[in-house]
């Protein structure tokens, strides 16, 4: 028996969710025939057969999460020849029979106070002690605390496991929270000079490009291991897109060299493809700074999350009418609230302030 393992899908991905099997045990397949569709954090990818031969076993069912290098398909015999095709980048083919992937070890919770009897009770009720609010002396979790949590969880029903985009979002947020030294500054841009037809996101992109040119240090990647940064010349903006599956961040390439018509078309394509989950994997990597226009939904100010290796994200809140003082008079102007989160390991407060000032100055001009 020859076992084909889940290949390296590129982009630093470590796992994928089985979406659809295109074959079954007992089927004869040809080289490059589609075997399975898997969903990653970035796209749905079809994996072709690396061998021609008869399939003897499929490892996993739709909905299962498979890690890179784990068994995927078993073929009859040992004389099948691998093909040199690709999925996303080079396929690394397993040449030896591999055992089923071992179950992940149970996480160790540190800093939780509970007696052995209470911990055993939590295991019986399948309650994570990290979710339990302690009421005992000095932060001790009691049996009553566990039973109360168990009743709440029972009423809520079974846990919803995060898959695909939402799973990747959770992992990225954990990484950002563990690594980035986040700081946020907030300010307002007076956009009274805009015409009613001014497209909001393209104008935000234009302002972001202007700010990257005025203060390039925020258009950068940071290496936490080497404690260094790359200040980048090209401006590739990650555009946060809200989808039914969760948050996706496709990349608008070379934002500083596009004219307005090209920019609007490229944006619409990115948004449509994101919501249809058909963004090519190469368009989900390599952004140098991020833009989040959450104000189209709600919210004035925020603390957007910087995801490594980038060092900055600009958030735009809901536009509002506000009374402002101009030349000693009270007038009503349109105001766009802005929030800039930056990684303080790589960016100083002065650099962030100058960047924000450049954004505001550009937005204040007529389109």
The verdict on residue 326 lying in a domain is: yes
Which of the four pLDDT bands, split at 50, 70 and 90, describes residue 80? low
- Kindly report the CATH number assigned to the domain that includes residue 64: 2.40.50.100
**Are both 54 and 175 inside the same structural domain?**
no
Higher model confidence: residue 45 or residue 339? 339
User: Number of folded domains in the chain?
Assistant: 3
**Are both 125 and 204 inside the same structural domain?**
no
The verdict on residue 94 lying in a domain is: no
The verdict on residue 92 lying in a domain is: no
**Are both 187 and 327 inside the same structural domain?**
yes
The secondary structure element, H or E, covering residue 75 is strand 71-75
Q: Report the C-alpha gap between 9 and 40 in whole angstroms.
A: 9
Find how far residue 249's CA is from the centre of its chain.
Answer: 7
- CA atoms within 13 A of residue 353's CA, in its CB half-sphere: 3
pLDDT-wise least confident of 30-34, 279-283, 338-342:
279-283
Given a contact cutoff of 8 angstroms between Cβ atoms, the answer to whether 56 and 74 are in contact is: yes
Q: Report the C-alpha gap between 195 and 211 in whole angstroms.
A: 22
**Are both 215 and 324 inside the same structural domain?**
yes
pLDDT higher than 90, residue 359: yes
Structural domain of 13: 2-75
Per-residue confidence (pLDDT) for residue 177, from 0 to 100 = 85
Residue 84 gets which letter from DSSP?
A: -
Of 156, 190, 212, the position where a domain reaches its end is 156
Per-residue confidence (pLDDT) for residue 306, from 0 to 100 = 94
pLDDT higher than 70, residue 84: no
The pLDDT of 120-142, averaged and rounded, is 89
Of 156, 187, 216, the position where a domain reaches its end is 156
The secondary structure element, H or E, covering residue 268 is helix 260-275
**Are both 341 and 221 inside the same structural domain?**
yes
Which of the four pLDDT bands, split at 50, 70 and 90, describes residue 78? low
The verdict on residue 82 lying in a domain is: no
- Kindly report the CATH number assigned to the domain that includes residue 341: 3.30.559.10
Looking at mean pLDDT, say which of 31-45, 52-66, 120-134, 207-221 comes out highest.
Answer: 207-221
**Are both 221 and 289 inside the same structural domain?**
yes
The verdict on residue 322 lying in a domain is: yes
Q: Which of 21, 1, 92 is nearest to 50 (CA)?
A: 92
pLDDT higher than 80, residue 74: yes
Q: Give the relative orientation of helices 349-363 and 200-214 as an angle to the nearest 10 degrees.
A: 140
The verdict on residue 330 lying in a domain is: yes
**Are both 48 and 151 inside the same structural domain?**
no
**Are both 171 and 129 inside the same structural domain?**
no
- Kindly report the CATH number assigned to the domain that includes residue 123: 4.10.320.10
Which of the four pLDDT bands, split at 50, 70 and 90, describes residue 85? very low
Per-residue confidence (pLDDT) for residue 102, from 0 to 100 = 37
pLDDT in tens, 257-314: 999 899 999 999 999 998 888 888 778 888 999 999 999 999 999 999 999 999 999 9
Q: Report the C-alpha gap between 335 and 314 in whole angstroms.
A: 16
Percent of the chain at pLDDT > 70 equals 89
**Are both 172 and 144 inside the same structural domain?**
no
From residue 123, alpha-carbon distances to 118, 130, 267, 347 in Å are 9, 12, 49, 45
The verdict on residue 6 lying in a domain is: yes
Beta-bridge partner residues of 75 = 2, 55
The verdict on residue 91 lying in a domain is: no
Secondary structure of the chain in HEC code, one letter for each residue:
CEEEECCCCCCCCCEEEEEEECCCCCCEECCCCEEEEEECCCCEEEEECCCCEEEEEECCCCCCEEECCCEEEEECCCCCCCCCCECCCECCCCCCCCCCCCCCCCCCCCCCEECHHHHHHHHHHCCCHHHCCCCCHHHEECHHHHHHHHHHHHHHCCCCCCCHHHHHHHHHHHHHHHHCCEEEEEEEEECCCCCCCCCHHHHHHHHHHHHHHHCHHHCEEEECCCCEEEECCCCCEEECEEECCEEECCEECCHHHCCHHHHHHHHHHHHHHHHCCCCCHHHHCCCCEEEECHHHCCCCCCCCCCCCCECEEEEECCCEEEEEEECCEEEEEEEEEEEEEEECCCCCHHHHHHHHHHHHHHHCCCC
Given a contact cutoff of 8 angstroms between Cβ atoms, the answer to whether 280 and 266 are in contact is: no
From residue 203, alpha-carbon distances to 68, 182, 194, 199, 329 in Å are 41, 26, 10, 6, 28
Of 101, 129, 156, the position where a domain reaches its end is 156
Parallel, antiparallel, or unpaired: how do β-strands 289-292 and 312-316 relate?
Answer: parallel
Per-residue confidence (pLDDT) for residue 203, from 0 to 100 = 95
**Are both 119 and 247 inside the same structural domain?**
no
**Are both 297 and 330 inside the same structural domain?**
yes
Higher model confidence: residue 226 or residue 186? 186
Q: Report the C-alpha gap between 38 and 26 in whole angstroms.
A: 21
**Are both 55 and 133 inside the same structural domain?**
no
Residue 132, token pair as written in the block: 């339990």
């Amino acid at each position: 028996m020859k076992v084909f393992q889940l290949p390296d899908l590129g982009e630093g991905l470590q796992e994928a969710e089985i979406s659809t099997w295109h074959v079954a045990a007992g089927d004869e397949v040809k080289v490059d025939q589609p075997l399975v569709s898997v969903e990653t954090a970035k796209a749905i990818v079809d994996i072709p057969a690396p061998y021609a031969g008869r399939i003897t076993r499929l490892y996993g069912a739709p909905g299962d999460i498979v890690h890179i290098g784990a068994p995927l398909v078993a073929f009859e015999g040992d004389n099948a020849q691998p093909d040199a095709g690709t999925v996303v980048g080079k396929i690394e083919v397993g040449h030896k029979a591999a055992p089923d992937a071992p179950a992940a070890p149970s996480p160790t919770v540190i800093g939780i106070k509970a007696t052995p009897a209470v911990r055993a009770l939590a295991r019986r009720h399948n309650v994570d002690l990290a979710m339990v609010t302690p009421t005992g002396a000095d932060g001790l979790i009691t049996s009553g605390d566990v039973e109360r949590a168990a009743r709440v969880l029972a009423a809520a029903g079974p846990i919803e496991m995060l898959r695909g985009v939402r799973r990747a979002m959770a992992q990225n947020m954990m990484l950002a929270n563990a690594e980035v030294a986040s700081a946020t500054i907030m300010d307002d841009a007076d956009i009274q000079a805009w015409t009613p037809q001014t497209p909001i996101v393209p104008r935000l992109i234009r302002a972001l490009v202007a700010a990257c040119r005025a203060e390039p240090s925020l258009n950068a990647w940071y290496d936490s291991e080497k404690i260094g940064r790359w200040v980048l010349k090209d401006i590739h903006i990650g555009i946060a897109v809200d989808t039914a599956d969760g948050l996706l961040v496709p990349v608008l390439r070379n934002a500083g060299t596009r004219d307005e018509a090209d920019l609007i078309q490229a944006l619409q394509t990115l948004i449509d493809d994101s919501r249809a989950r058909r963004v090519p994997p190469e368009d989900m990597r390599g952004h140098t700074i991020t833009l989040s226009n959450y104000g189209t939904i709600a919210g004035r100010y925020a603390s957007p999350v910087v995801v490594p290796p980038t060092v900055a994200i600009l958030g735009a809140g809901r536009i509002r009418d506000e009374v402002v003082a101009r030349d000693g008079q009270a007038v009503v102007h349109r105001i766009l609230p802005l929030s800039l989160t930056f990684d303080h390991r790589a960016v100083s407060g002065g650099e962030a302030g100058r960047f924000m000032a450049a954004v505001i100055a550009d937005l204040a001009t007529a389109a």
